[in-house]
Amino acid sequence: MSMLYRLTISDFRKITASIKSAYDFDFSNFALTSIKHRFERHISESKYPDVDSFNEALCTDQSFYKNLLSKLSVPDTEMFRDPEVWQELKHTIFPALLKTEKPRIWIPGSNSGEEVISCLMVLEEIGALNKIEVLVSNSLDLNLERIKKGVIDSRIFEISRANYERYEGKLKFSEYFVEKAGKFIMKPDLLAVPKYEVIDLGKNHVPTSINLCIYRNAMIYFNKTLQFEILDKVHKSLVHGGYLLIGVKESLEGFNVDKRFIELNTGEGIYKRSFM
C-alpha cells in the first residue's frame, strides 16, 4: 500500500486554481480538511509522482479530470441508513405526497445510488412507484451512470440488509438484487423508473414543483457560503408545504430559516417549506 501523499496548502490551492481556470469548477466553498484529504488519497493512488505532473494531467486530460471528480465524490455508504427515517417516509411523508397532484421527489445528493435504491424500494412496497415522479441529479454524468448500474459491493450489501430488517421491509432484501462476481446488482426495472439529469447545484438551475427533496448528510462537506446558496435553491425548488430531508447529521439551526422552513422532526432532520 502506497504512502499517503501530503499536500501543502499552497499545493492544494495550486491544484484547485488550475481546475477553476480549466473547467470553471470551484472548490473554494468545500470544507477544506475533507476535500484536501480526498485529493491526497487520490494523488497517492495515481501514477503521477508529484503535484506538478498530477496538475498538468488534470488540465490537459478532461477524462482524467472527470474521473477524479467522480472519485472525490463522497459515496452514499449504505442503503436504508437510519432505518427510522425510511419508516417515517413510508408511513407519513409518502402517503401525504400521494394526496397531491403529480407529486415529485428530487434526490440531488446521491453519488453512488444507495439512497436512490432505498427510495425506490419503499415506493414499490407501498405501490407508489408509478404514482410519484422521481428525479435523480448529480453534477457528474459519471456518477449518474454509476447509479443506473446499481452495483453494490458485498460489504455494503450486508450492512444494508441489516438496515432493511430494522426498517421492517415487506419483502426479502435479496429479492431486489442479482449476485454476480461477488457483487450485488439491483434489478434494472426499478432503476429505470427515475429521470436522471446532470445538475450542478452550485451553478445550474434547479427543478421546480418538488414535493420532497432528499438531500441527506451532504451539506456537511461544504462551507457556510455554499450551504446557504444550496439551501436557497432547494427552498425555491419546493412547493409550499414541500418536504426537505437533510438527515440526522445536519440541522438548519444557524441558517436563519425560521420563516422559510417548519421543523417537523429534528432527530431525523425532516423539515417542511412554510407557506410564506
pLDDT in tens, the chain (276 residues): 456 678 888 988 898 898 889 888 888 888 788 888 888 888 888 888 788 888 888 888 988 888 888 878 776 679 999 999 999 999 999 999 999 999 999 999 788 899 999 999 999 999 999 999 999 999 889 899 999 999 998 999 999 999 999 999 998 999 999 999 889 999 999 999 999 999 988 777 899 999 999 999 888 888 888 888 888 899 999 999 999 999 877 777 766 666 788 888 878 889 999 876
- In order, the DSSP letters of 107-176 are E---SSSHHHHHHHHHHHHTT-TTTSEEEEEES-HHHHHHHHHTEEEHHHHHHHHHHHHHHT-SS-GGGG
Q: Which CATH number fits domain 83-149+191-273: 3.40.50.150, 3.30.1330.20, 3.40.50.300, 3.40.640.10?
A: 3.40.50.150
Residue 75 makes CB contacts below 8 A (sequence gap 6+) with: 111, 112, 114
Question: Residue 98 corresponds to which cell in the numbers above?
Answer: 400521494
Alpha carbons 19 and 25: distance in angstroms, whole number: 6
At residue 168, what are phi and psi to the nearest 5 degrees?
Answer: 70, 55
Q: In Å, what is the CA distance from 235 to each residue of 90, 108, 139?
A: 23, 13, 19
Q: Which residue carries 490551492 as its cell?
A: 13
Alpha carbons 30 and 24: distance in angstroms, whole number: 15
Specify the DSSP class assigned to residue 207: -
Domain regions of the chain by residue span = 9-72, 83-149+191-273
Q: How many CB atoms lie within 10 A of CB 200?
A: 14
